[in-house]
């Protein structure tokens, strides 16, 4: 019987780990927290591993949602005395596996390394830095890139402003999806997986 060769490039581009980025300074009553929880729960039930930075807010919501969906979780953390503006590790955010880093940059790149796709929720400057890094890496490694999802209709205004005022080309606009509702996230992940598998992006 002839053996079928498995395409290792395809294997490398399978979406398994979903990294959550967003505001650390929100509580359980915040709509963004609730959305992150429900989205993580849905993705975990579908077999995806939920990845986050081990902090509060959106990060903790994604861990709690994944646990509710009986899924696996991974956090990338760092603790430091030299960054008073950083939210730090949240003791209540306990994941199945934790990767410890020594500074913010290392943490961000480890999160990007361990995520196959990223979901960007509403946040502040930290989320902006993660959004920008994911976007430039998708541009640089286009065709072998990691896609991302911008969650919330407010992202449409942001992307339009960037596109209208900066030199953003069509290819750069093709590496992400903007979704407005919780139920649109899983189909968007599956759509991006199909496009990666067939080399359409």
pLDDT (mean) for 128-135? 97
Q: Which residue has the higher pLDDT, 84 or 58?
A: 58
Domain chopping of the chain, boundaries = 8-197
- Give residue-wise pLDDT tens across range 4-57: 333 434 344 689 999 999 999 999 999 999 999 999 999 999 999 999 999 999
pLDDT (mean) for 59-72? 98
CA pair distance 108, 128, nearest whole angstrom: 12
**Of 14-23, 43-52, 162-171, 188-197, where does mean pLDDT reach its minimum?**
188-197
Would the pLDDT of 84 be above 80?
no
Looking at the DSSP assignment, which residues form a beta bridge with residue 150? 120, 178
Would the pLDDT of 179 be above 90?
yes
Closest C-alpha among 179, 144, 141, 142 to residue 159: 179
Predicted local distance difference test score (pLDDT) of residue 12: 45
Predicted local distance difference test score (pLDDT) of residue 24: 94
Alpha-carbon 34 to chain mean position: 16
For domain 8-197, give the CATH number.
3.40.50.450
CA pair distance 28, 47, nearest whole angstrom: 24
pTM of the model: 0.89
């Amino acid at each position: 019987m002839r053996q079928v060769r498995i395409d290792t490039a395809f294997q490398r581009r399978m979406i398994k780990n979903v990294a959550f980025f967003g505001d650390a300074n929100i509580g359980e009553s915040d709509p963004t927290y609730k959305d992150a929880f429900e989205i993580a729960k849905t993705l975990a039930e579908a077999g995806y591993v939920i990845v986050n930075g081990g902090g509060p807010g959106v990060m903790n919501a994604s861990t709690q949602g994944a646990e509710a969906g009986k899924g696996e979780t991974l956090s990338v953390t760092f603790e430091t005395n030299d960054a008073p503006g950083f939210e730090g590790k949240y003791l209540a955010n306990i994941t199945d596996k934790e990767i410890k880093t020594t500074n913010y940059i290392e943490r961000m790149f480890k999160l990007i390394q361990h995520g196959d796709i990223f979901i960007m929720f509403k946040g502040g400057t930290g989320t902006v830095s993660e959004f920008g890094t994911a976007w430039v890496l998708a541009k640089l490694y286009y065709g072998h890139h990691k896609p991302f999802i911008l969650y919330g209709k407010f992202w449409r205004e942001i992307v339009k402003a960037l596109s209208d005022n900066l030199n953003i080309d069509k290819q750069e606009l093709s590496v992400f999806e903007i979704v407005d509702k919780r139920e649109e996230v899983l189909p968007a992940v599956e759509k991006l997986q199909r496009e990666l598998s067939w080399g359409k992006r």
